[in-house]
Amino acid sequence: MPRAHTPAVGVEPSTRPRALAGVLAGVVAAIVLSSCAVGPDRGPDLIPGGGGQQGPAPSSSTAPPVPALAAPKTDLDWKDCAAETTERYGVARPEGVTIECAEYDSPIDRDKPDGEAVSIAVTRARTADTPPDAAPLVLTSGSDLPSSRTLMVMTAGQGRALLASHPVVAVDHRGIPLSSDIDCMTRLERETIANNGLTERGTTTEARISRLASAASSASDGCTETLTPYQLSFGATSAAADLESLRQRWGVDHLGLIGAGEGSDVVLTYASLYGGRAGRIILDTPTPFGASARDRAQAQARGVQVALQGFAQRCSALGGCALGTNGVATMTRMLTKARAGDLASLSDTAALNAITTTLALASDRPQSLLDLADAIAAADGGQTAALVRLADRAATLRLPDGALVSRCNDVTGPVGQNEVPGLVDAWSKQNPLTGANSALSLVRCNGWASGDPVRPPTSLPADPLILNGTRDPINGGEGAAALVPLFMNADAEPVTVTWDGLGFSVLGRSACAAEVVAEYVDRAPLQGPTQRGCPT
């Protein structure tokens, strides 16, 4: 398969290579080759029926057999990359876990399989106990976080128990490091978008929206010019096509898929576009597939508010928490100061991104919560250095150019700019910590073209397994409930496992969830109750 070899595209601090479209010959900007948990699960066993109604699972005598999963017939060229990966993400090297990296090519346009290609980075985790002939499970966290970073949460946490039965291969979403990194915005555009338009003290909501809309429109123009004719080739449809390229490269009939957060959209898109190739469907704290931009943002505001309240409660219970007995009040006060421009080098949006990302990826040591509380309390007192460092780290993971391009490709039902002030006012009253930020973030895709929405799958080769984290600080925990109509229309009856801990990815944090996943992969459909719980 031909591969696009494109020189790296650099963007000067305040300029953009607007004339690069011809030089790029229609190929994406840089091709880059690359090679924790809060609320640990202390209970190894599943609690059947915890927190929900019980009902019988589909009978194996009446349901068609689920597809078999197999080891790759033609594997990738794996190389050890533990040192590079742990250094890149600033995490400890996981003891007893082998981390390997590879790459493969995938067509930029799925309708032109013999055309130009992008390089997709993959990271594999296994242990000495992982059977060499076990089918790999494919992990994607979509555009929320690099999938390789999500994999590192698993290798450091309770979820590594899954590696005793199956290797896990993380596929990084195209367009973000390390898979064909996009560099198409100016520094000013990035900063304005990252801060949701806050540039100085006393900035009004209307002024923020105006600046943010202007930066978003300018970024759209620049990225479209840089990426043409592939400006719409970075959404969930294209990410699903990359999974199909991996299946073909491996020479297997079916994939076992794990979609964490927004990665669930990628997995469900794959199930819709590639029919029975999705041999297992594991949705880990999913997002609401097909929902409008407004509904997704409002659900995120509610869910992340709940997660932050849970953080404050848990921190207070630990003792010695710098947030005090009312951590929500402390965070609200700090964010109010940041929103007014009273904190040096720290907007309210950047501060919130720092808190939520740190919670999402924190280790399972109680000290992780206390350290974050110290940074928040210090910022509340005017000392912002610690929280600014966390914000910079969060932006690197969650706000690269390619992530914005991917999210805007997938926008459904964009919200008009004139509607946003009312949403800021209403949502901030309902969710004081998160509402204003979620409403303002709707403007980030202002002026961007979006791809055609993918229709939900009408049938599934295997009933899905849902891992529902109720306190996810990235997306909130409302996505699982929003998917009920989709599963009904697909005549599917999923098993749902609920986990009430803090953090991104239930599987990464719960040995209980890992055991259920292993059972589901090897013996689907699962027998017993369809509503279950795992201890926190």
Average pLDDT over residues 443-461: 92
Look at strands 278-284 and 255-260 and give their pairing: parallel
**Does the pLDDT of residue 495 top 80, yes or no?**
yes
Which pLDDT tens digit goes with each residue over 86-127?
999 999 999 999 999 999 999 999 999 899 999 999 999 999
Find the mean pLDDT for residues 256-274: 98
User: What pLDDT is recorded for position 39?
Assistant: 36
Report the distance separating Cα 530 and Cα 497, nearest Å. Answer: 8
For residue range 290-308, list pLDDT tens digits in order.
Answer: 999 999 999 999 999 999 9
As given in the structure block, the two tokens for residue 84 are 């590079």
- Report the pLDDT value the prediction gives residue 143, as an integer from 0 to 100: 97
- pLDDT at position 77 is 98
Residue 44: its pLDDT value, please? 32
Tokens standing for 437? 């930020």
pLDDT at residue 319 in the model: 87
Rounded Cα–Cα distance for residues 310 and 355 (Å): 13
476-505 mean pLDDT? 96
Domains of the chain (ranges, CATH numbers): 31-53+74-178+236-290+463-534 (3.40.50.1820), 187-229+318-445 (no CATH)
The model's confidence at residue 57, banded by pLDDT at 50, 70 and 90, is very low
Banded model confidence at residue 49, pLDDT cuts 50, 70, 90: very low
Per-residue pLDDT reduced to its tens digit, 372-411: 999 999 999 999 999 999 999 999 999 999 999 999 999 9
Residue 322 burial (CB count, 10 A): 18
pLDDT at residue 10 tops 50? no
Residue 270 has pLDDT above 60, yes or no: yes
In angstroms, the Cα distances linking 277 to 75, 204, 235 are 18, 50, 20
pTM of the model: 0.89
The predicted model gives 331-352 an average pLDDT of: 96
CA distances from 131 to 100, 112, 272 (A): 16, 37, 31
Percent of the chain with pLDDT over 90: 82
Backbone angles phi, psi at 468, to 5 degrees: -105, 105
pLDDT band at 62 (very low <50, low <70, confident <90, very high): low
Whole-angstrom Cα distance, residue 202 to residue 432? 19
pLDDT of residue 181: 96
Name the pLDDT band for 367 (thresholds 50, 70, 90): very high
**Could you tell me the CA-to-CA distances from 71 to 131, 251, 255, 270, 280 in Å, in that order?**
10, 9, 10, 20, 14
Using 50, 70 and 90 to split pLDDT, how confident is the model at 8? very low
Residue 31 has pLDDT above 70, yes or no: no
Give the DSSP per-residue string, 171-219.
Answer: EPPTTSTTSS----S-HHHHHHHHTTT--STT--HHHHHHHHHHHHHHH
Per-residue pLDDT averaged across 23-47, rounded? 34
- Integer Cα distance of 455 and 515 in angstroms: 32
Taking residue 43's Cβ as centre, other Cβ atoms within 10 Å add up to 13
**Beta bridge partner(s), residue 392:** none
Cα-trace Rg, the chain: 22
| Mean per-residue pLDDT, 456-463 | 95
Provide the mean pLDDT of the chain: 89
How confident is residue 275, by pLDDT bands cut at 50, 70 and 90? confident
Residue 336 tokens read as 């109010």
The pLDDT value given to residue 63: 60
Confidence at residue 30, expressed as pLDDT on a 0 to 100 scale: 37
Q: How confident is the model at residue 1 (pLDDT cuts 50, 70, 90)?
A: very low
User: Comparing 12 with 236, which gets the higher pLDDT?
Assistant: 236
Q: Cα(498)–Cα(495) distance, rounded to whole angstroms?
A: 10
What's the average model confidence in pLDDT over 19-43?
34
56 or 114: which leads in pLDDT: 114
Phi, psi of 486 (to 5 degrees): -60, -45
Comparison of pLDDT for 123 and 41, the residue scoring more:
123
Decide if pLDDT at 239 tops 50.
yes
Tell whether the model's pLDDT for residue 48 goes beyond 80: no
